[in-house]
Amino acid sequence: MRHKGKVLFATGAGSGLARAVAQRFTREGGRVAVADFNGDAANKVAAELAGAIALQVDVSDEAGMARAVGAAHRHFGRIDCGFSAAGIAETDPIEDWALERFNRHIAIHLGGAFLCFKYLIPIMKAQGGGAIVTVASVAALVAQKHNGPYGAAKAALLQLSRQVAADVAPFNIRVNIVAPGSIQTGMTEPYMLKRGNGDLARGAVLHAQHFGVQRVGQPDEIAAPVCHLLSDEASYTTGHCMVVDGGLTLA
């Protein structure tokens, strides 16, 4: 029950990694503001979690993020933790990208984290501390075919998070980053289906055949380290990028 009495504001929590984090955080005694672009998905997840609320928000919309964080703060009276995980994934040769689509990736991945920092940090300063985790990717660390805009956004997010960690450390606020490898979620399954010619299980095996552990990861395998970084167990850890990739970056 290491999160007993704590409140988490999590973006992208209607599915995937953030949903797993919200579930684990709740099991460990906390309460969660489930924020997602898909309001129905947010409502469904929140209904499954004791004490949770659902918030519909586009993380690239500043007014919307200000309202969502404010609503969570008013409802719970505090926000101790933040998890910025909303994201999209698309792959194409760079010459096939329109600037508008490129900017959308930057706005969601980088801008969404920026707005989490902007509106969560004042609350945490007033409370005397807090913890935030952002989601980068191994794509922030190594080049991947046709993944330029995503990788660029994640690399920028990694450095933004480290910069903010330095700024807020004197206020007892910790900022850390998790960099997952290939995790099986609704965002990645279309690529695995394509790899397996419609067979998801086969596609997942083929997708992971060059990893150290030779399998894709599951969302709770990211939720575990995230909830550790959000907890007091990681009280001396800030500005750290935890790579959780099954050995993908070993080669």
Residue 248: what pLDDT? 84
Annotated catalytic residues are: 150
Quick check: is 230 in a domain? yes
Quick check: is 72 in a domain? yes
Residue 100 has pLDDT above 70, yes or no: yes
Residues 245 and 202 in one domain: no
- H helix or E strand, kind and range, residue 222: helix 220-230
Residues 35 and 59 in one domain: yes
Per DSSP, the three-state class of 160 is helix
The backbone region for 220, taken as left when phi is positive above 0, alpha when psi lies in -120 to 50, beta otherwise, is alpha
Residues 176 and 160: their CA atoms lie apart, in Å, by: 11
Residue holding tokens 């075919």? 145
Sort 65 into a burial class: Cβ within 10 Å, 0-12 / 13-18 / 19+.
buried
Residues 148 and 193 in one domain: no
Residue 214 has pLDDT above 90, yes or no: no
Quick check: is 189 in a domain? yes
Which residues are 133's β-sheet partners? 83, 176
- CATH number, domain of 77, equals 3.40.50.720
Q: Say which range, 8-17, 178-187, 218-227, has the weakest mean pLDDT.
A: 178-187
Residues 110 and 13: their CA atoms lie apart, in Å, by: 17
Residues 153 and 241 in one domain: yes
Give pTM, 2 decimals: 0.92
Quick check: is 24 in a domain? yes
Residues 190 and 246 in one domain: no
Per DSSP, the three-state class of 98 is coil
Q: What is the DSSP code (8-state) at residue 200?
A: H
Per DSSP, the three-state class of 196 is coil
Residue holding tokens 């926000």? 79
Residues 178 and 189 in one domain: no
Residues 89 and 195 in one domain: no
Quick check: is 2 in a domain? no
Residues 119 and 226 in one domain: yes
Per DSSP, the three-state class of 71 is helix
Quick check: is 1 in a domain? no
Segment 213-237 shows an average pLDDT of 93
Quick check: is 60 in a domain? yes
pLDDT for 147-182, tens place per residue?
889 999 999 999 999 999 999 999 999 999 999 988
Domain interval for residue 178: 7-182+219-250
Quick check: is 160 in a domain? yes
CB neighbours of 122 closer than 8 A, spacing ≥ 6? none
pLDDT for 5-25, tens place per residue?
999 999 999 999 999 999 999
Residues 164 and 189 in one domain: no
Number of domains in the chain: 2
Residues 11 and 77 in one domain: yes
Instruction: Retrieve residue 16's tokens.
Output: 């995937």
Residues 212 and 116 in one domain: no
Residues 171 and 191 in one domain: no
Half-sphere exposure of 53 (CA within 13 A, CB side): 17
